[in-house]
A and B are shown apart, each in its own frame.
Chain A
């Protein structure tokens, strides 16, 4: 297929075959990562700016490595050292960066819709690396890729996502990537963090982790924070861990070959027991691996490469 997108803002309008195309591309990128010299000249002379208005070491590093493996010039711009604190608007900041003629802006921002907004006002390509509580498309794709690697398919799998659904952009992207590929999705967490409206996505909503995990093929645990904007959504981390944490006992309800995923960083002993975080069925580090490949694929496709070469 041909690739026509200028931006990757979210997965809400991605067709299954488009997602497969990105994954196919990621597969050939992953081959590069197994070589001795992990670098190809595909993006030589192209500039990628990581425009991060919100702290994120791992996503930024993942995009940075992805860009460098493709020989792009990668520049990091983060808000702590930026002019944002001086009251510059998001648009002004982006236009200033744009004036330096980058090819791709990788944007992380705390406001939902920020990447879409910028795409309407700048001429270079934009990859959304997480906008508020809206989407995190590269995470949605890397979760899909990771599951495909292990399970060979997504259709028909029971996938439980457990934790702070309300504030999670990962969930909103996973609902598109995994949901559109035919997974049976369960969303689980405290009622204060799992909006009932999410049933409209076709997912099953529950506050009973046993129900969510029972016979599941994949369990995605989300990072939990006790306080958000100084408001508590549940009594204590101890209470949370008792009700919604994944431990050996609960995990035994899942299918024998069930796997555990987590977008990181993990709160060991809170949402995921120490033991399970490192067990054989944990795919956490494979997700990180897939992440670089998927981000290479996105950068490659946006920079104009439209044919996958095996």
Chain B
């Protein structure tokens, strides 16, 4: 039994936002209690006065690099970073080596996560074998092994016909396809957002249209097939607009963005900073503003950081040759909390984007909720903690972050997964081994 006492309990799924106490038992939420804290509680107590108590955060887009690239990250270090960042669940992409296109790989990931993980790991399996865009993966077998959705993330599914077939085929089974929306021909060899910064620095550009054309195409295919689609890492203004249009048309299409896309713009590339190189690229200010709007009005369902660890030397090189991607699990929450400052978004909405939202998109039962009977995944957040994100804080094997040295406000102070405290900085509480 575990009692989380006196915190501001924010549970967007039920609409609750009040001071109270949460009791966890046998890996489940037992009950919420208002008023006085239960007297003579038989079990561990975490004092959460002045803190937020929210459903365990879920990041629906991470790369754990395991199997195959364990020098960049592995399931143990990646989930340790997740727990420290407040995440009780992460959803890992299929571009491992071997690719997660067979149940053996899915089971390997789940097995290792069960043994060494500090968070729940939900694997996404490939849409096509080897992410090659040629033959469909065995969806049912992968789903039976534990895959929660399908994506060729890192690469777009280039053939519209193949995507159509895949979406049509999985529709009766209710699986969702997550789309890395990129028109490869339009993006053609670019390395930065096609805008003033790229022109000035002489970096080949990736036009916004490379993303928008693909989003539109995928949405139209989903409409044609009545399929369930999710657009990953939206970075452009028209990308948000097109998704909004699709939602208004009543289509079952969801979308995510990442903190980097509402925090930074392509101006971060000055000096050829390879830690600001990613795909999709950091865009312009009008894109950033549009993404904030999409977050406010509910067009965007989830914030997911696209955690993409890379060893130092693939970033310590000329810009064109540098690898794409940044780590994000430990900065996603504070960067998201920064959105509260302008008062444009309410705490409950923010918590929704980081927990109930992704649980809804992926149909993760028992996750993203503090209702009685839900899984005892809880994150305790100190929204006012001021701290600096330094290299020594990084728990990932890789330190490729453009946010190193940033002053942050707000962080997770306890991450409880299945009733076990897996991370905490609260004095007097020891993490369960």
Whether B202 lies near A117 (C-beta < 8 A) is no
Per the 8 Å Cβ criterion, residues 280-337 of B in contact with A are 313, 316-321
Q: Does A81 contact B (CB under 8 A)?
A: no
- Report the number of A-B residue pairs with Cβ-Cβ less than 8 Å: 60
The verdict on A132 contacting B196 (CB below 8 Å), with A90-B318, A109-B318, A112-B319 known, is: no
B188 at the A/B interface (Cβ < 8 Å)?
yes
Q: Binding site of A, secondary structure by majority: helix, strand, loop or mixed?
A: mixed
Taken residue by residue from 159 to 177, chain A's Cβ proximity to chain B (1 for < 8 Å, 0 otherwise) reads as: 0000000000100100000
Residues of chain A at the chain B interface (Cβ within 8 Å): 89-91, 109-114, 116-117, 121, 131-135, 169, 172, 195, 197-198, 200, 229, 231
Q: Top 3 A-B pairs ranked by shortest CB distance?
A: A133-B202, A113-B272, A134-B202
Please state if B188 and A112 are interface contacts (CB–CB under 8 Å).
no
- CB pair A169–B202 under 8 Å, yes or no, is yes
Q: Give the complex CA separation of A131 and B203 in angstroms.
A: 10
B203 nearest CB neighbor, chain A only: A112
Q: Is the CB of B313 within 8 A of A89?
A: yes
Interchain CB contact under 8 A, A132 and B320: yes
Asked, given contacts A91-B317, A111-B320, whether A197 binds B202 with beta carbons under 8 Å apart, the answer is no
CB within 8 Å of A: which of B201-217?
A: 201-204
Chain A residue at minimum C-beta to C-beta distance from B316: A91
Other-chain contact of B201, A90, A112, A195 (Cβ < 8 Å):
A112
What's the Cα separation between A90 and B322 when bound, in Å?
11
Q: Are B202 and A132 in contact (CB under 8 A)?
A: yes
Q: Is A197 a contact of B195 with CB atoms below 8 Å?
A: yes
Interchain CB contact under 8 A, A116 and B272: yes
Specify which of A89, A135, A231 is in contact with B202 (CB 8 Å cutoff). A135
Contacts of A172 in B (CB 8 A): 200, 202
Tell whether, in the assembled complex, residue A134 and residue B318 are in contact, meaning their CB atoms are under 8 Å apart: no
Q: What residue in chain B is nearest A92 (Cβ atoms)?
A: B313
Contacts of A110 in B (CB 8 A): 320
Query: With A132-B202, A134-B201, A172-B202 in contact, is A113–B188 under 8 Å at CB?
Result: no
Q: Which residue of B lies closest to A132 (CB)?
A: B202
Residues of B at the A interface (CB closer than 8 Å) are 188-189, 195-196, 199-204, 271-272, 313, 316-321
Q: Chain A contacts of B203 at CB under 8 A?
A: 112-113, 132-133
Contact, CB under 8 Å: B196 / A113:
no
B201 x A113 contact (CB < 8 A): yes
- Additional 18 contacts, C-beta under 8 A, given A134-B201, A197-B195: A90-B317, A90-B321, A111-B319, A111-B321, A112-B202, A112-B319, A113-B318, A116-B271, A117-B319, A131-B202, A132-B320, A133-B203, A133-B204, A172-B200, A172-B202, A198-B199, A200-B196, A200-B199
Contacting B319 at CB < 8 Å: which of A113, A195, A229? A113
- Per DSSP, chain B at the interface is loop
| Smallest beta-carbon distance B267→chain A, Å | 13
Q: How far is the CA of A145 from the CA of B320 in the complex (A)?
A: 32
Min CB gap A165→B, angstroms: 9
Do the beta carbons of B313 and A112 come within 8 Å of each other? Answer: no
Of all chain B residues, which has the CB nearest A116? Answer: B272
Chain A residues near B196: list those with CB within 8 A: 197, 200
A114 and B195 contact, CB distance less than 8 A: no
Question: Does A229 lie within 8 Å of B318, measured CB to CB?
Answer: no
15 A-B pairs with CB atoms under 8 Å apart are: A90-B321, A112-B201, A112-B203, A113-B203, A113-B319, A114-B318, A117-B319, A133-B202, A134-B201, A135-B202, A172-B200, A172-B202, A197-B195, A200-B196, A200-B200
Asked if residues A197 and B199 are in contact (CB atoms below 8 Å), the reply is yes
Chain A positions within 8 Å of B199 at CB level: 195, 197-198, 200
| Nearest Cβ on chain B to A78's Cβ, whole angstroms | 17
> Which residues from chain B contact A89 at a C-beta distance below 8 Å?
313, 317
In the complex, chain B residues whose CB is within 8 Å of the CB of A111? 318-321
Residues of chain B with a CB closer than 8 A to A135's CB? 202
Residue among B188, B202, B203, B271 with most chain A CB within 10 A: B202
In the complex, chain A residues whose CB is within 8 Å of the CB of B316: 91, 121
Across the interface, name the chain B residue whose C-beta is closest to A198.
B199
B312 → chain A closest CB, angstroms:
11
Q: A112 contacts B272, CB within 8 Å? A: yes
Is A229 a contact of B202 with CB atoms below 8 Å? no
With contacts A112-B272, A197-B195, A197-B199 known, is A117 near B318, CB below 8 A?
yes
Which residues from chain B contact A113 at a C-beta distance below 8 Å? 201-203, 271-272, 318-320
Report A51 CB to chain B, min CB distance, Å.
13
B318 and chain A: residue at smallest CB distance: A111
In the assembled complex, which residues on chain A have CB atoms less than 8 Å from the CB atom of B200?
172, 200
CA distance A90 to B188 in the complex (A): 23
With A and B bound together, what is the CA distance between A197 and B200 in angstroms? Answer: 9
Bound together, the chains give a CA A174 to CA B87 distance in angstroms of 51
Please give, as numbers and ranges, the residues of chain A lying within 8 Å of B188 by CB-CB distance: 229, 231
Q: Which residues of A contact B317 (CB under 8 A)?
A: 89-91, 117
